[in-house]
Structure formats: structure tokens, C-alpha cells
Structure 1
Amino acid sequence: MHLQTLPGLFISHGSPMLALNPEQVGPALARLSLNLPRPQAIIVMSAHWESEALELSHAIRPETWHDFRGFPEELYQIRYPAPGHPELAESIIQRLAEAEITAHANSTRPRDHGVWMPLLHMYPEADIPVVEISIPHHFSADQLYQLGQCLAYFREQQILIIGSGSITHNLAELSWSRDTPTPVWAATFSQQIISALKNGDYDKVLQWQTLPYIKQNHPSLEHLAPLFFSMGTGSRFSLVHSSFSMGALGMDIYRFD
């Protein structure tokens, strides 16, 4: 059987409410999945799994974790029962070991909304195995990029690799009223990232400290970190989608081939 090469993706997963109100990004994710060969499996790095050491989910049937509070009850009824893939997790650990990167299997980790939120729109049947990978606290942008480079090999095995975060993520600045204009600091940040990636200037993004309005867009870095990982999976960038939700929450989707 000929296996097709899948891209690496960066997906801004947005508010948990996108499960109930998909806005523009839900249809964009659905279209994206229809345009891709069906994956054999999916590897996701989520902003919502920070860890001391590098870990991978190893459970056969991970629970759906509603890792948020204060939302409508119907949101807590959603399940994403896609199977895990312990064999793939073992293969990843082995490949990382060959690159002298130590990773550990975690068989108890439930599946956070950074994983199931985008996949709910892409593969609603929840029938493709998923392995989640953590973000170690001590990893630099360059190390996350190298991690993506190391795992890019799996794209050739018809495995989809996703970094799930958010291109902007300052929850204190979000607006719950409709039609709130996007602030200059958020729009500028997104535009600068897209421009750098289009020009192949990955170093500009990896040197995140120098990006415009970095602290306003990312008071903490965990939602930008999956982008560094995704960038490592491919050298050809294309913009799949760009929009804003709740004023300042960037909903960009990027593709790396």
C-alpha cells in the first residue's frame, strides 16, 4: 500500500465554545480535512499539556477531558472517543531516543480540549487514532522546532502532525460582545508571523522575544509553543485560514509541507 505524505499543521484551537459555535474556523477545519488524504493516525502537541519531561499519551482509550470551567452544560457532554495508539507512541519514543531526546509514555493522561476541539471539526467520527505529545517547561523554541524536525518522518507514514495552540492568546483582553474590532497589537502580531513564514524567515519566529507586541499577545508562551513544533515539520509554509474571535483571539491555521 502506497502511503501518502501528509503536512504538518498549526491550528489555533480557540475558545471551548467553538465546539458549539464553530464561527469561521470550524468550517475551515472541516474543508482542510476533506482536502487531505485520510490519516492513518494523528500526533498532536497541545498547549494544554505542559510537563517537566517530554511525555506521550500511551492510553488505548483516553478519556475526554473538559479542562475548563464556567461554560454551558452541553459542552461538558461532548466526548471525542478516538482510540489512542500505544504502538505509534512507542515508535515516536524510539525515534526520539535515536536523536538523543528522552521521552516517556504516559498511560493515564486524558485528552484535553487542545486535542479534541480541532479534531471535532476535522474528523467528527473520532475513528482515527490519536497520540498527544507534551510541551516540556524547559524546552526552548529551537528545541521544539528540532522536535518537529525529528517527527517530520512520520508525515511519510500518512500520519498527520498538529501543533494546537493559538496565534494570539491574551484572555484578559478578550471581548464577549459581538463585532468587537481586532486591536492593532493582535492584528500586527499575526501579520508579522505570516509574513516571516511566507518569506521562509523561520528564525524571526523562533526568536520570539523580538516579535512585536509579544507580551500583549502571549503573557505566557504555551499557546505559541506548538507553532515552533509545527514549523519543524516542513519548510514550505502556506496559510490555510486567518481570522479573529472575541476581538483579540487569533484563529490562524498554517500548513507546513
Structure 2
Amino acid sequence: MDTLPALPALPALFLSHGSPMIALEPGAAGAFMQRLGPAIDATFGRPRAILAVSAHTLTREPVLLAAERHAAVPDFGGFPQALYEMRYDAPGAPALAQEVKALLAASGVTAHVLGEGGLDHGIWTPLRYLYPQADVPVLPLAWMPMAPPAQQFAMGQALARLRESGVLVMGSGSITHNLRLLSTFTGRAPMDAPEKPESAAFRQWFAERAAARDWETLFDYRAQAPHAALMHPTDEHLLPWYVAAGAGGRDVAPLRLHQSHTYGALGMDAYGFGEEARRLREALAAQ
């Protein structure tokens, strides 16, 4: 793995993508992501590629989607027609897929490489704001939602070297995600409904435990976080946080770069990981 190019190191990121409606109604999180891409470029330079770990691309074993080109996949139903007509045609990263496969193999994880593509809405909706020209190569990593948080973190640790070679490791999910609690999900009611207390308590607990680098408690969040099962009846939308956190490493506390909510209980928090995250936060504050 000594062939990885030497480029400015990047932080790893976790972005809450929320409802697909964010593509039409950016809200506070969309406005943050519009600033995030330029802040990354100004601070570290344009990433050579994005490794995307999304809550909506799931498999029984890790799979790298190494197509030459990707298109936006409308993997949802019941939304306005304008959402289905949106495009995000981004280049793929087949060469990077081989690098990632080798890194995972070195940690004992076997990953498959497929020459197929497509970006689920957990990838293309945030990237439409970060890089609207769709000019940064994207490599989706389909992952195993049955693995617990500590195992997801370990997979992220195996990917940490990518950050040192100009690759943006991006986890995409939602910091809270129980669709039954939402005032709406399809844009037919106000997205600024007051936040439910349980959602606010969970988000605050997560931010506090992250700031304290309390990894063992975070790994055991389902037993220790307030309202954990209510906020995540299934936890595939939170687990990408742990992958990105692992890529940032244990030694530096995760930084909450953005906090907001939509539809009453859909948390939109974003986090940065690794010592580079502090520089990114300073760049965002200076905008």
C-alpha cells in the first residue's frame, strides 16, 4: 500500500441527509452543505475522490461499486415529480476501488469489486450541494448493517489511510431516524415543525459522548443513549457515523460541525473526524 499518493490529508465526515426532499428544500442542513464543499476545497484542496458509505446501499458483504460513471438513483416513493427528474451524473473511481479493497484485505475484511454504479439518495442529495458540478469521482461502498458499531468503527480504521491520499471518506445517514415520528417525509407539511424532546435529548447525548471520546459508551449507544430505540428502530442510518469516526481515529474527539432538525424528529447533524476537522470547522466559521 506504499503506492498511495501523498496529498493533503482530509477529515472524514458524517452527513445527515434527511428526507430526499432536501434536494428541493435545502433548509439549514442544505445551506451548511453548500458551504461545506467550498470550505473543504479552500482548506485542503479538491478531493481526488469520495468514498461514500450510505445508509441506503447495504449488502451481506462489503461491495465496492466501481463503475466508470454513476447516475442518481431515485430510490424512494411518494415524492413530487421534480425530485425524480433530478440528475447527478458523477464519474466513478474504479482505480480507487482496488486501493480500498487492498486496505480492507490488510485488516482481514474481504471486499468485492463490481463494475456497476448508481448513487442512492443518501449520496447524491448531499453531493448536489457539496459539489454541484458532479466533477469529483465517487466510489460507493456497500456495507453490512448487521455488524455492530464497534465493527463498523474498525472498518473505518482500515480506511483511515485514504484520508492521507486526498480521499474524502463520507458517511451518510441521519443522527436520528424514526419516520413514524415525523410530521411528514414527502414535503407536504412544514419541515420546521418543533423538535420532539426525545430527538433533542438523543442528539445532545451523542454530541457530549463524542466530545468526550467516550468510545465504549458510544459503541453501546442502544443500551445507554436516551430514547435510542425510539430514535433508531433500526440503526442503519446511524452506523455510517461509526465508519467515518473510525477513519478519523480514536485519539481526536469528533467535532459536530452542524446541528439542526427537520419534520420534528429527523436530526440533521454533521460531524468531522480526525485532527483536520478542526481546520475545517475554522474555515466554515470564517465564511
Q: Which amino acid is 1:183 matched to?
A: K
Alignment partner of 1:96: what SS?
A: helix
| Among candidates 194, 209, 233, match of residue 219 of structure 1 | 233
Deviation of the 1:149 alpha carbon: 0.7
Deviation of the 1:2 alpha carbon: 6.0
Decide which structure has greater strand share: 1
Using the TM superposition, name which of 105-114 and 216-225 deviates more: 105-114
| Among candidates 143, 159, 166, match of residue 151 of structure 1 | 159
Deviations 1:171-199 (A, max 9, x none): 01101343421111100000000000111
- Aligned partners of 2:195 and 2:30: how far apart in 1? 20
Q: How does 1:70-149 map to 2 (within 5 A)?
A: 70-149=78-157
Q: Which amino acid is 2:49 matched to?
A: A
Q: Which amino acid is 1:240 matched to?
A: L
Deviations 1:34-74 (A, max 9, x none): 11131111001000011111111111112321000111111
- Cα RMSD after superposing both structures: 1.3
Deviation of the 1:32 alpha carbon: 1.6
Pairs aligned (count): 257
Q: How does 1:202-213 map to 2 (within 5 A)?
A: 202-210=215-223, 211-213=225-227
- Aligned partners of 1:22 and 1:137: how far apart in 2? 28
Deviation of the 1:236 alpha carbon: 3.2
Deviation of the 1:212 alpha carbon: 1.3
- Aligned partners of 1:4 and 1:137: how far apart in 2? 31
Name 2:25's counterpart in structure 1. 21
Q: Which amino acid is 1:251 matched to?
A: M
Deviation of the 1:208 alpha carbon: 2.0
- Aligned partners of 1:144 and 1:91: how far apart in 2? 19
1:246 aligns with 2:263: yes
Name 2:283's counterpart in structure 1. none
Deviations 1:193-250 (A, max 9, x none): 0000111112211112222111110111110110111110113321110001001100
- CA separation of 1:2 and 1:102: change in aligned 2, threshold 3 A: closer
- CA separation of 1:117 and 1:71: change in aligned 2, threshold 3 A: same
Alignment partner of 1:79: what SS?
A: coil
Name 1:192's counterpart in structure 2. 205
- Aligned partners of 2:120 and 2:245: how far apart in 1? 22
- Aligned partners of 2:50 and 2:118: how far apart in 1? 16
Deviation of the 1:101 alpha carbon: 0.6
Say whether the 8 Å CA contact 2:176–2:265 is kept in structure 1.
Answer: yes
Q: Which amino acid is 1:227 matched to?
A: W
Alignment partner of 2:213: what SS?
A: coil
- Aligned partners of 2:6 and 2:113: how far apart in 1? 29
Taking structure 2 as the reference length, what is the TM-score of the superposition? 0.87
Say whether the 8 Å CA contact 2:69–2:117 is kept in structure 1.
Answer: no
Q: Which amino acid is 2:264 matched to?
A: G
Give the % identical residues. 40
1:183 aligns with 2:191: no
Taking structure 1 as the reference length, what is the TM-score of the superposition? 0.96
Name 2:285's counterpart in structure 1. none
Deviation of the 1:109 alpha carbon: 4.1
Using the TM superposition, name which of 74-83 and 173-182 deviates more: 173-182
Alignment partner of 1:9: what SS?
A: strand
Say whether the 8 Å CA contact 2:145–2:239 is kept in structure 1.
Answer: no
Q: Which amino acid is 2:196 matched to?
A: P
Q: Which amino acid is 2:237 matched to?
A: H
Q: Which amino acid is 1:14 matched to?
A: G
